[in-house]
Homo-oligomer: A and B are copies of this chain.
Amino acid sequence: MAEQLVTLNDVAEAAGVSLSTASKALNGTDRISVATREHVRDTALRLGFRHNALARSFARGRSQTIGVLTHRASNPFSRVVLASTATELGAREQAMLLYDARFGEADMDESILQLRARRIDGVIVVGTGTSHATPSITDRFDVPVVYAFTFTEEPADVIVTADDVRIGRTAAARLLATGRRRIAHITATADDEAVQRRMAGASAVLAEAGLEWAADVRYGRWHEGWGEQAAGDLLDEVPDLDAIFCGSDAIARGAERGLRTAGRRVPDDVALIGVDNWEQLMYDQSSQRHLTTVEVGLEQIGRLAARQLLDPEREPGIRFVDPQLVIAQTA
């Protein structure tokens, strides 16, 4: 069995002071001489004493627990944000109470009551991306609320999220920098705000270079099969196409298969760039990368959201994380 936990009594006894003095020395709640405080603290350190965090948080009325609300923790991107949120919270001694699939649904009221009964110190709402706005629930809580990997339409909310316009700009700039001029775009549905902003960012960079898309933007789904089909269609329409910006890595993987099936070499004939950096997310590979892509910054979103929540100086508004270009073999 484990050794017994060192109690405050043990510290007081070993330091030769009263329990009350030991408590004052360690909690800094009353006047006490510097010498005594240091003596008690040294003793506590030597014995391996730790405050009973449960008793301490009860006394303070704080649970050192953060409620996390999410639509679906198993969304592959949300999961990255969740893990980095939990890691950052843990590094700051905050526990995470995860309420999955209870956000935006019928039992939302129940979830909020439960979270408040638990006396959580704050709430992080983890979304499933920037495709659509999330309803603001900030005014349902007395504690701070931060939104991660989503956005709301409430200007007073604190939001940490992906910068889709800069993602689009970064992808297009890379294709131009490698000398490509006949560039197409395969992406998901047109009513998706992430689709719109990535496309707008890339279009702006093309326009700045005096270019337009080489073919109409192909709107479809965030799926590999869609990328394969659309790449084939694009080649039929624009046989001398020299690059494709794909709205996601899944689409890019499919597009690559479509290009190869049509006898095109990647990147010699047609360059490809995606978005997500899934080789890193999924394979954990930092060497021998294949797909050139733009990293959204999901881990950073989770980390910054946790820091914002715990920062008493937090201010309302949207904080975008910077996307990163990841150069590999395809562009």
Contact = CB atoms under 8 A, between A and B. Distances in A.
B250 A119 contact: no
Contacts of A68: 90
Contacts of A91: 100
B283 A117 contact: no
Interface in A34-89: 48, 50-55, 57-58, 61, 63-65, 68, 73-76, 79-80, 82-84, 86-87, 89
Contact of A76 (B89, B223, B250, B282): B282
A82 to B, nearest CB: 5
Contact of A118 (B54, B225, B287): B54
Contacts of A89: 98
* The 4 nearest A-B residue pairs measured at CB: A50-B117, A225-B288, A90-B98, A95-B95
Given A90-B99, A95-B96, 9 more contacts: A58-B58, A65-B95, A74-B284, A76-B281, A76-B283, A86-B86, A96-B96, A224-B279, A281-B282
19 contacts: A50-B114, A53-B117, A54-B58, A54-B119, A68-B90, A73-B87, A74-B299, A75-B284, A76-B282, A76-B284, A82-B82, A91-B100, A96-B96, A223-B285, A250-B283, A254-B290, A278-B282, A281-B282, A282-B282
